[in-house]
Amino acid sequence: HLTILMLKAGFRTDYVPDAIAATVVPDRMGPYLRQQLRWARSTFRDTLLALRILPGLDPYITLDVIGQNLGPLLLALAVLAGVLQVALTATVPLWTVMVIASLTMIRCGVAAVRARQLRFLAFSLHTPINLFFLLPLKAYALCT
């Protein structure tokens, strides 16, 4: 939110790979999900603020904003397709699993390349949490 406000005011922002930032990370699932619900609502709201300034920004920022909003939708469609395949054909949805894994690695790979740090590839381990907890939470955030 602060970045979008700064960009909207005409300032420039840069990624600084050696910057150090601190945040409070909840150590229990309930507080973590409440934090993620606040952040999801903020992302959807901030996207509306950013729409007017996106054309003048770095293409990667535009891609990231689109990804943060369309990514959960595409992921939900992939999960739904997989569930339907299991329900209708009693077969394992290998195609769906491969698409989700590929998209995860692409997104983490882009982040790793942009940051020039391989540790960003580890974010792919976040996918199960995203699928089973955060995806439904983001749908709820969008509706509320």
pLDDT digits (tens, 9 = 90+) for 14-55: 878 788 888 888 999 999 999 999 999 988 888 887 888 888
Segment-wise mean pLDDT, segments of 10 residues, the chain, 144 residues: 81 84 89 93 84 80 80 82 90 84 87 89 86 88 88
Q: How far apart are CA 109 and CA 128, in angstroms?
A: 18
Provide the strand spans (E) within 35-121. Answer: none
Tokens of 38: 């606040």
Residue 52: inside a domain, yes or no? yes
pLDDT for the residue 37: 95
Residue 114: inside a domain, yes or no? yes
pLDDT for the residue 34: 95
Domain count, the chain: 1
State which residues form the domain around 127.
1-18+29-143
pLDDT for the residue 27: 92
Question: In residues, how long is the chain?
Answer: 144
- Cα dihedral sign for 123, 128, 133, 138? positive
Q: How far apart are CA 11 and CA 5, in angstroms?
A: 9
